[in-house]
Amino acid sequence: MSALREVAPGVRVIALETPTLPPATHTNTYVLGEREVILVEPASPRRREQGRLLDALFDAGLEVRAIVLTHHHLDHIGAVERLVAELRVPVWAHAETAERVPFAVDRALVEGEQLDDDRGRAWRVLHTPGHAPGHVCLRDDEATLIAGDMVAGVGTILIEPSEGSMARYLASLTRLSTEAALLLPAHGDPLPHAPRVLEHYVAHRLARESKVRDALRAHGPSELAALVPLVYADAPPTVWPIAALSLEAHLVKLIDDGDVVHDGPRYALL
């Protein structure tokens, strides 16, 4: 049996173990096309996992035409250098991703351009910043979306304030909700009913944002560390260090929206 599993017509997947954000343990590598394929994010830095990917490609008789990256995070790019060295294939990614990876990107992907697979299927590049500045998705004519880290079939998507942007992430989710039918995320199983899933993601973030407002209203000017247990009372304390990053991303958005001010270490509602 092939290690590659078909998840949509002309789209196969193999999940490789990666150092990713728990509870996720794997990152999906998608294979687009029939024989001369486009490989979307060969992710794992682990040699054994890279070997599994190479074996799977070889066993299926596939040649890799190009590697596409959805974004620059370590759990999405781990096998790229080895594949480039062994298969001599070009790497395609958004310019903002190219700036952030430790290897050369051969082609800068831009919003709206079309990548044709060897079945004649057109994959449209959608620039969807927010989780990462250079994040892209690929969408075919049937609205199947290679979704990267816009959504997750397992675990959550972290918006990290140093490079991520909650406002841009929400705008990208909203945009995708009119463009996708089936979501193929980097972590976990395919997610059908894309508009519903994406609307749920937006609603979930906005609900969290109103918890931030409520906490500031109830407690007055507060430091980030004091807000975490109030805003994430529904989450176990073990996730609070990660939640603090997400909370900061919400606060940055609220400041940009003109709803919150940052006074020294404390945040206050306007």
Q: Which is nearer to Zn ion, 41 or 209 (CB)?
A: 41
Of all residues in the shown chain, the one whose CB is closest to Zn ion is 73
Q: Which is nearer to Zn ion, 117 or 149 (CB)?
A: 149
CB of 176 to Zn ion, least distance (A): 16
Q: Which is nearer to Zn ion, 160 or 259 (CB)?
A: 160
CB of 253 to Zn ion, least distance (A): 19
Q: Is the peptide bond before 23 cis (omega within 30 degrees of 0)?
A: yes
Binding-site ranges for Zn ion (CB under 5 A): 73, 149
CB of 131 to Zn ion, least distance (A): 6
36-42-43 Cα angle (round to 5): 170
CB of 158 to Zn ion, least distance (A): 7
Q: What are the backbone angles phi and psi of residue 6, rounded to the nearest 5°?
A: -80, 125
CB of 149 to Zn ion, least distance (A): 4
Non-local (6+) Cβ contacts of 245 within 8 A are 158, 159, 160, 161
DSSP string, 51-96: HHHHHHHHHTT-EEEEEE-S---HHHHTTHHHHHHHH---EEEEHH
Q: Which is nearer to Zn ion, 132 or 198 (CB)?
A: 132
Q: Which is nearer to Zn ion, 73 or 139 (CB)?
A: 73
Residue of 123, 21, 122 whose CA lies nearest to 76 = 21
Q: What are the backbone angles phi and psi of residue 164, rounded to the nearest 5°?
A: -85, 170
